[in-house]
A = this chain, B = another copy of it.
Amino acid sequence: MYRTHTCGELTIGNANQTITLSGWLQRSRDLGGMTFIDLRDRYGITQLAFNMETNATLCTEARKLGREYVLQVTGVVKERESKNAKITTGDVEIIVTELKVLNASITPPFTIEENTDGGDELRMKYRYLDLRRNAVRKNLELRHRMAIETRNYLDKLQFLEVETPVLIKSTPEGARDFVVPSRMNEGEFYALPQSPQTFKQLLMVGGFDRYYQIVKCFRDEDLRADRQPEFTQIDCEMCFVEQEDILNTFEGLVKHLFKTVKNVDIPTLTRMTFAHAMKYYGNDKPDIRFDMQFKYLKGDGADLTAGKGFKVFDDAECVIAINAIGAATYTRKQLDELTDWVKRPQIGASGLIYARVSADGIKSSVDKFYDVDTLQHWATATTAKDGDLLLILAGSTNKTRKAMSELRLLMGTQLGLRKSDTFAAHWVVDFPMLEWDEETKRYHAMHHPFTSPKPEDIHLLNERAGEARANAYDMVINGVEVGGGSIRIHDAALQSQVFSLLGFTKEQAEYQFGFLMNAFKYGAPPHGGIAFGFDRLCSLFGGSETIRDYIAFPKNNSGRDVMIDAPSLISPEQMKELAIATVLNTK
């Protein structure tokens, strides 16, 4: 037996017991007559004491041990003289009587501490050492707890977890599919699923009623900073439900997770239409931890800017202001920095107008054009008070909304309104069915091709398809889309119509989704579902913006696992066996 206790459980109640521990040498302190070693395992740290006077041999041996050595010690639990209130075992130490080195360690390439000296790249290469750090392990413990509680909640509601296949069929539009050559079917390929969408719908056709799965999905796309080629979804589907049933069920899920994992009670989720979100927040996943909604000085039926000869506003489709409460103290330098920031190509504004509201009146960067009365109207319209700062952008509607959305988030951050331990969750609903793509001159499905239109908007599909709203919804927490779904089409004729709107020929639709369309002929029930990005949800619960921190063995931005050095070349024999060859594209 390697241990009687873990390094995290001994307290004063164990005093005078003889115990055995195993763990890693976290640090060692040599104080002349005494040597202290902090022994670490997953559960905590326990102090080991070696006394040169009473046991010189053992103490001398202990002094030779290096960081990250694996030790097994037996000894007696004693109350410490100087207690450490920071750790649960801080009241005691072990007077060691036996010491065994279970394994030695060469010096690790970085320190295994809360704040390590290792850079990202190094820690990725030695991920197994990084995993020893409390901070990293705690993230993965959180992830485990999230998964367990997700399953507990859904199991109680009679959801069945069903494993759908990983080796599936590639679709003609599957440019982002990873593919897998089949040795037994030469020249043919499987694809890895980007989501289990069609399978979960087939489970509904199969009468499974309530399905979920915490499941790996795959997308071969150029990776932005925070994407991974393999990622995990909480994937769910229900039948005989309307949108309201899904929203209630999964609002319950996040409430359950917040309560059980973080002991936080979150209020009932508010609901916002897509149109409202775009108009007053400039994006479809507003961060509502703070207000700072858009006010239209021009546009949305208002015009508080006309007739004063300010060409920028006069030419603009809209003029949008936000009220940064208490920010009138912003210096000229800060405002110049904000101006530079909004003019960056990623944001795309042509300039920034501001107005400071103070007891002395309102001072704006457009005082030349607008008199105090007008500025006062602006202040009233934006409910700006003494000490507040109005920030104003103008231009075409979509572009200005987008830029102002970014500025709003920046100001929220700068004013400390976006705390990672504060949670604001809500639903965005009534997404449009379709998105017009200027490049290909055709509609794309905003959610996916199986999304059903709102019954009252079906008539729009024939003539003004772009206006038709879908029974589609996203869950947004702190400005992050953590989940999204829709009520699906369960009627083969409506599905055909939508495929045709999306530019599929009958043949394409048949080739790509034939088995689903066919399944719909045999009594498909009304159904709908949702999928949550599990990596993202975990990072959000953990208060981090980096999903990589919540994945045990993540890949880097080139899709490489630098620890195991994958992907890699394979042997010519293996390629022959698989009936494939490499044909490098000229670069």
Assess whether A334 is interfacial by the CB under 8 Å rule: no
A580 touches B579 (CB 8 A): no
A567-B182 contact given A70-B523, A129-B206, A580-B580, CB 8 Å threshold:
yes
Assess whether A542 is interfacial by the CB under 8 Å rule: no
Q: Which residue of B lies closest to A160 (CB)?
A: B144
Which A residues between 121 and 148 are near B, CB-CB below 8 angstroms?
A: 126-132, 137, 140-141, 143-144, 147-148
Question: Separation in Å of the A288 CB from the closest CB of chain B?
Answer: 29
Which among B126, B209, B574 is the interface contact of A42 at CB below 8 angstroms? B209
Residues of B within 8 A of A70 (CB): 523-526
Assess whether A251 is interfacial by the CB under 8 Å rule: no
B140 touches A162 (CB 8 A): yes
Q: Which residue of B lies closest to A518 (CB)?
A: B126
Q: Which residue of B lies closest to A204 (CB)?
A: B128
Q: Which residue of B lies closest to A210 (CB)?
A: B42
Residues of B within 8 A of A182 (CB): 220, 559, 567
B147 touches A188 (CB 8 A): no
Give A1-20 as 1s and 0s: 1 = Cβ < 8 Å from B's Cβ atoms. 11100100000000000000
A240 touches B163 (CB 8 A): no
A180 touches B178 (CB 8 A): yes
Q: Given the complex of chains A and B, what is the CA–CA distance between A577 and B568 in angstroms? A: 17
Residues of B within 8 A of A555 (CB): 165, 167
Q: Given the complex of chains A and B, what is the CA–CA distance between A179 and B579 in angstroms? A: 12
Assess whether A446 is interfacial by the CB under 8 Å rule: no
B579 touches A230 (CB 8 A): no
B189 touches A161 (CB 8 A): no
A105 touches B565 (CB 8 A): no
B179 touches A578 (CB 8 A): yes
Q: Which residue of B lies closest to A571 (CB)?
A: B172
Give A179-222 as 1s and 0s: 1 = Cβ < 8 Å from B's Cβ atoms. 11111111111111000001100110111111000001010101
Q: Given the complex of chains A and B, what is the CA–CA distance between A185 and B184 in angstroms? A: 26
Give A537-562 as 1s and 0s: 1 = Cβ < 8 Å from B's Cβ atoms. 00000000000000111010011110
Q: Which residue of B lies closest to A573 (CB)?
A: B175
Question: Separation in Å of the A228 CB from the closest CB of chain B?
Answer: 9
A165-B561 contact given A189-B567, A566-B190, CB 8 Å threshold:
yes
Q: Can you report 22 residue pairs joining A to B where beta carbons are below 8 Å apart?
A: A42-B207, A68-B523, A103-B526, A128-B522, A129-B205, A130-B206, A131-B207, A132-B206, A163-B551, A164-B552, A165-B230, A165-B561, A166-B216, A166-B230, A167-B559, A175-B574, A180-B180, A185-B559, A189-B569, A189-B570, A579-B582, A581-B581
Besides the known contacts A131-B208, A132-B206, A169-B565, 8 further A-B residue pairs in the complex with CB atoms under 8 A apart: A42-B210, A163-B552, A167-B178, A177-B574, A179-B570, A185-B567, A186-B585, A581-B581
Q: A-B pairs with the 7 shortest C-beta distances?
A: A131-B206, A105-B523, A169-B566, A188-B567, A2-B240, A182-B567, A68-B523
